[in-house]
Amino acid sequence: MLYFLLTQLWSINPMYQYSLDSFVTFLYKAIDKTEAYASYAERCAALVQSIRKTVFTWVARGLFERHKLTFVALLTFRLLQRGVLGDAFDAECFNFLLRGPTKVVPENPLADWLPNAAWYAVQKLIEIPGFEAFATNMERDAPSRFKEWIQELHPEAVKLPLDWKRLDSQPFRKLM
């Protein structure tokens, strides 16, 4: 998975071309850095972690600053798809995150503090199982609490209002 991600980086910038030889070099460096373990399972887990970290470190050094976040996002999404990060991968949620809302929605009743683009996203979000009550909670149940949350400097680091704070244990769904 890592190698194929590296081979696709050229589409971001033609300078980002990695050969199989360079990837094998990253592998050897990671293997050399990994300490020995008594059990086979522990050794394998340590090797996988070391390989990911080594490849990320070496590749990130060669990327322009503006492309590093893209690389991290691609790597994270690939790991999510494979179930490596522990958070359950939901293709519908992933498509929503990438594409956003795509249909005509009712007028924004919270226009004084919520941008229309965000309201459109909320209307698409309520179509995903588990988010059906989100718009109602924002509009009727606790608009002032949602307004405070949205106006936070880093809302992603603050608990959501009402029962939505349960999303703290599901970071991918909270990101949506």
**Res 50: pLDDT:** 93
Q: Write down which residue in 30, 56, 81 finishes a domain.
A: 81
Query: In terms of domains, do 70 and 100 share one?
Result: no
Domain presence at residue 86: no
* Statement to judge: residues 76 and 110 lie in one domain: no
Indicate whether 58 and 105 sit together in one domain.
no
Residue 70 and residue 101 in one domain: no
Both 73 and 100 in one domain: the answer is: no
| pLDDT the model gives residue 86 | 73
Q: Of 81, 115, 134, which residue is a domain's last?
A: 81
pLDDT at position 124, please? 85
User: What are the structure tokens assigned to 39, written together?
Assistant: 């059990």
pTM: 0.58
Q: 139 lies in a domain?
A: yes
CA atoms within 13 A on the CB side of 145: 14
pLDDT interval class at 54 (50, 70, 90): very high
> 148: how many CB neighbours lie within 10 A of its CB?
14
Q: Report the CATH number at residue 50.
A: 1.10.8.1220
Per-residue pLDDT band at 173 (split at 50, 70, 90): confident
At residue 103, the pLDDT reads: 67
**The total number of structural domains that make up the chain:** 2
Residues 39 and 112 both lie in one domain: no
Asked if residue 99 and residue 171 are part of one domain, the reply reads yes
- Name the residue range of residue 164's domain: 91-175
Looking at the structure, do residues 74 and 98 belong to the same domain, yes or no?
Answer: no
Cα 113 from Cα 30, distance rounded (Å): 49
**pLDDT tens digits, residue range 79-132?**
888 888 777 777 878 887 787 766 667 888 988 988 888 888 888 888 888 889
76 and 109 both lie in a single domain: no
Inter-residue contact 164 to 170 (CB < 8 Å): no
Domain membership of residue 68 (yes or no) is: yes
Give me the pLDDT at residue 117, please.
85
Mean pLDDT of 145-157: 88
10 with 45, same domain: the answer is yes
Q: Residue 134: is its pLDDT beyond 80?
A: yes
pLDDT at 42 over 80: yes
Q: Output the pLDDT for position 59.
A: 92
| Domain presence at residue 22 | yes
Are residue 108 and residue 62 in the same domain, yes or no?
no
- Domain closes at, from 81, 113, 128: 81
Which of 67-104 are b and which e, b meaning 16 or more Cβ less than 10 Å from the residue's Cβ? beeebeeebebebbeeeeeebeebeebeebeeeebeee
Claim to verify: residue 72 and residue 116 sit in the same structural domain: no
Residue 66 has pLDDT above 90, yes or no: yes
